[in-house]
Structures are given as structure tokens and as C-alpha cells.
């Protein structure tokens, strides 16, 4: 049995607790830390998981999942430093924080695994991308993969690729929301009532996502299958190309990667 403590049970922390319980972990194997008593009581009532302080979490849990906002990390590291050891595994869900930050602030040889999750974790459909820090071994990565697979898919990359990952899957859901929003506007333009347009576009998005995920067929093949000669879809595609949508996506994702690198510099030694 691996005991897991979630440090900071906000949206992502709660989603992880909930996913771990749905995946078969027992409430006794889980605990969390939280600043506000009211919020802590609410979570304990809902999930049957206990709220603890950081020293208790470090003493009783092998895995410490850090799920506070990146700007709140300093007090958490100050609390962890005197109480963690190499029998703990730190799993950081904090966007942009390098494993080196933890390695500098925590005692020598504490293993750290960095994760870039994304918000679909709240519905059990996260894309979590993990990287090993200096002291993390194969068994640590395997354990993190097992934990996060209860809330979605998991992929490993070298830590140097985490800024690109942040731009792709970290921010990725926002690009799809943006696209859906624009397509709903198009429905309004064509005189379709908003609630109907929303239903048509959201279900089309869900259907298209399921086809890609479940059939394993490449998106190009799926698109070609609905693009008939001189048909309606190719007329729309011509306009997307004319307006540079593909180039805009390449530039947008590159800009997000650059911003992630810039934010990360604040935490370099
Ligand atoms: N790729 C993505 O889209 C993505 C998505 C989500 C999250 N993330 C990462 O996941 C992490 C959590 O994000 P979130 O959206 O879940 O944020 P959130 O809802 O603000 O959750 C953070 C939680 O930590 C608590 N907290 C802060 N300092 C604490 C401390 N010293 N001790 C105990 N609890 C403390 C906060 O309490 P208060 O309410 O009192 O502040 C809050 O409940 C972030 O680091 C973020 O970068 C990435």
C-alpha cells in the first residue's frame, strides 16, 4: 500500500483525490493539506479523506503530491524541507516549476517527478506528462504513471521538453474551447438558436475526439473522409487555409512555449 498526500486540495488536487478513490484507492491511503478549515471539512465530508499538516503528511505518506499554485510554492518548500527524506517521493503538478527548484530547497537525494497535467483531470480525461528529476528512479516514474492513470493518460518526456508540453497539452484544452466558441458564433451568424448551436458543436467535438481516440485513425484520414470533391467541407477548408489558421496555430503554440520558458527562468538558480 502506497500512502499519498495531496498538498493543496484545490481544483486539480481534489480531482486527483476523487480519481484515486474511483480508481480503487481506499480513503485511509489518502490525505491532504489545505489552508482553510472550512474547505478541509468539506473535502473530508465528501471523500472521507483526512486533512493533515505537512509534517504528518511527510511522516505518513510515501508520495507527496504538490498541487498548490506555482506562486504559492515557497512556503510549501519551507514547510517540507525539515521533514522530508528520500523515503518520500515528491510529485509536482505545478506548471513551470523545475525539479531543480525542489532539489535545491529540499534535503539531498529526495526524488522528484515533475508533471504537467491539464484541466480535463476533473472529468478523468487528463493528459499528464511526466519527467524525472535527478534522483527519481524507474520505480518512481512507474508509481507516478500508475497514480495518474486513474485520472487520464500519462506520457513520459525529458524535462527539457516540458515548456513545449505546457504549450501543447497544458494549454491545449483552452485552444479547443476557443475553437468551439468561434464555431458556436458561426452558428449564430447562420441564424441557429444559441442553445442548438452549442449542442451541435459540442457534440461534434466530443464525437470527433472519440473517433480520433478510439479508432486510432490519423486526423488527416478522418478529415479527408468527410471532404468530398467540390463539396461543402472543402469550401470551408479553403477559407481556413486562406485565413492562415494552420500558421496561426503554429505561431500561437510557439508563443505559449516561449512564455513558459520565460516564466520558468524566474525559478532558475
Ligand atoms: N496545465 C494546466 O492547465 C493545469 C491545470 C491545472 C493545474 N495545473 C497546476 O496544478 C496546480 C494546482 O492548480 P489548481 O487550478 O488546482 O489551483 P487551485 O484551485 O488554486 O488549488 C491550489 C490549492 O492549494 C491551496 N494552497 C495554497 N497554498 C497552500 C499551502 N501552503 N498549504 C496548503 N494548501 C495550500 C489553495 O488554497 P487557497 O484556496 O487558500 O489558496 C488551493 O486550494 C498549479 O500549480 C497549476 O500550475 C496545471
DSSP string for 61-104: -SEEEE-S-GGGHHHHHHHHTTT--TTSEEEE--TT--HHHHHH
Q: d(Cα 35, Cα 9) in Å, to the nearest integer?
A: 9
- Digit-coded pLDDT (tens) for 239-256: 999 999 999 999 999 999
Mutate to test the pocket of ligand 1, among 5, 9, 12 (most ligand atoms within 8 A of CB): 12
- Going by DSSP bridges, is the β-strand pair 63-66/4-7 parallel, antiparallel, or unpaired? parallel
**Cell numbers 484507492 correspond to what residue?**
25
Hey, whose CA ends up nearest to atom 41 of ligand 1? Answer: 35
Q: Work out the average pLDDT over 57-83.
A: 96
Give Cα separations from 70 to 30, 161, 181 (angstroms).
23, 19, 29
**pLDDT at 1 (0 to 100):** 76
Helix H or strand E segment including 159: none
> With bands split at pLDDT 50, 70 and 90, how would you rate the model's confidence at 269?
low
Q: What is the predicted pLDDT for the residue at 264? A: 81
pLDDT tens for 146-177 read 999 999 999 999 999 999 999 999 999 999 99
Residue 168: CB partners within 8 Å, gap ≥ 6?
Answer: 253
* Residue 244 in grid coordinates: 492562415
What is the mean predicted confidence (pLDDT) over 90-107?
Answer: 95
Measured between alpha carbons, how far apart are the two ends of the chain, in Å? 36
Query: What's the CA gap between 121 and 259, in Å, rounded?
Result: 23
**E strands present in 88-172:** 89-92, 112-116, 126-132, 152-156
pTM score of the predicted model: 0.92
- Cα separation, 140 vs 174, in Å, equals 30
Q: What is the DSSP string of 171-235?
A: SHHHHHHHHHHHHHHHHHHTT--HHHHHHHHHHHHHHHHHHHHHH---HHHHHHHT--TTSHHHH
Contact 201, 178 (CB under 8 A): no
Nearest CA to ligand 1 atom 26: 8
Nearest to 126, CA basis, from 154, 146, 147: 154
Q: What is the pLDDT of residue 265?
A: 82
The residue whose CA is least distant from atom 2 of ligand 1 is: 118
% of the chain with per-residue pLDDT over 90: 95
Tens-place pLDDT, residues 30-44: 999 999 999 999 999
Query: Best mutation site among 15, 42, 43, 67 for ligand 1, i.e. most ligand atoms within 8 A of its Cβ?
Result: 67
The predicted structure's pLDDT at residue 195: 98
pLDDT category at 205 given cuts 50, 70, 90 is very high
Q: Which residues lie below 8 Å from residue 182, measured CB to CB, with a gap of 6+?
A: none
CA pair distance 20, 29, nearest whole angstrom: 10
- Ligand 1, CB cutoff 6 Å, lining residues: 7-13, 33-36, 67-70, 72, 75-76, 93-95, 116-119, 170
Q: Is 127 within 8 Å of 149 (Cβ atoms)?
A: no
Is the predicted pLDDT of residue 133 greater than 90, yes or no? yes
Amino acid at each position: 500500500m502506497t500512502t499519498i498526500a495531496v498538498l493543496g486540495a484545490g481544483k486539480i488536487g481534489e480531482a486527483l483525490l476523487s480519481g484515486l478513490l474511483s480508481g480503487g484507492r481506499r480513503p485511509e491511503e489518502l490525505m491532504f493539506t489545505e489552508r482553510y478549515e472550512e474547505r478541509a471539512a468539506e473535502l473530508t465530508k465528501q471523500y472521507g479523506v483526512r486533512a493533515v499538516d505537512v509534517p504528518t503528511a511527510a511522516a505518513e505518506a510515501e508520495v507527496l503530491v504538490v498541487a498548490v499554485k506555482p506562486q504559492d510554492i515557497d512556503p510549501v518548500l519551507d514547510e517540507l524541507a525539515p521533514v522530508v527524506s528520500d523515503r518520500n517521493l515528491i510529485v509536482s503538478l505545478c506548471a513551470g516549476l523545475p525539479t531543480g527548484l525542489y532539489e535545491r530547497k529540499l534535503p539531498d537525494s529526495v526524488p522528484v517527478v515533475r508533471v504537467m497535467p491539464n484541466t480535463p483531470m476533473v472529468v478523468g480525461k487528463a493528459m499528464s506528462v511526466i519527467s524525472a528529476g535527478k534522483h527519481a528512479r524507474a520505480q518512481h516514474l512507474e508509481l507516478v504513471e500508475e497514480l495518474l492513470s486513474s485520472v487520464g493518460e500519462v506520457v513520459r518526456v525529458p524535462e527539457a521538453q516540458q515548456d513545449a508540453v505546457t504549450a501543447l497539452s497544458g494549454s491545449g484544452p483552452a485552444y479547443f474551447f476557443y475553437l468551439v466558441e468561434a464555431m458556436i458564433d458561426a452558428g449564430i451568424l447562420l441564424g441557429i438558436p444559441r442553445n442548438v448551436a452549442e449542442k451541435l458543436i459540442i457534440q461534434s467535438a466530443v464525437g470527433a475526439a472519440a473517433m480520433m481516440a478510439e479508432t486510432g485513425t490519423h486526423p488527416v484520414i478522418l478529415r479527408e473522409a468527410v471532404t468530398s470533391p467540390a463539396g461543402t467541407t472543402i469550401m470551408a477548408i479553403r477559407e481556413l487555409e486562406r485565413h492562415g489558421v494552420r500558421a496561426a496555430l503554429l505561431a500561437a503554440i510557439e508563443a505559449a512555449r516561449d512564455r513558459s520558458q520565460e516564466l520558468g527562468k524566474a525559478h532558475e538558480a
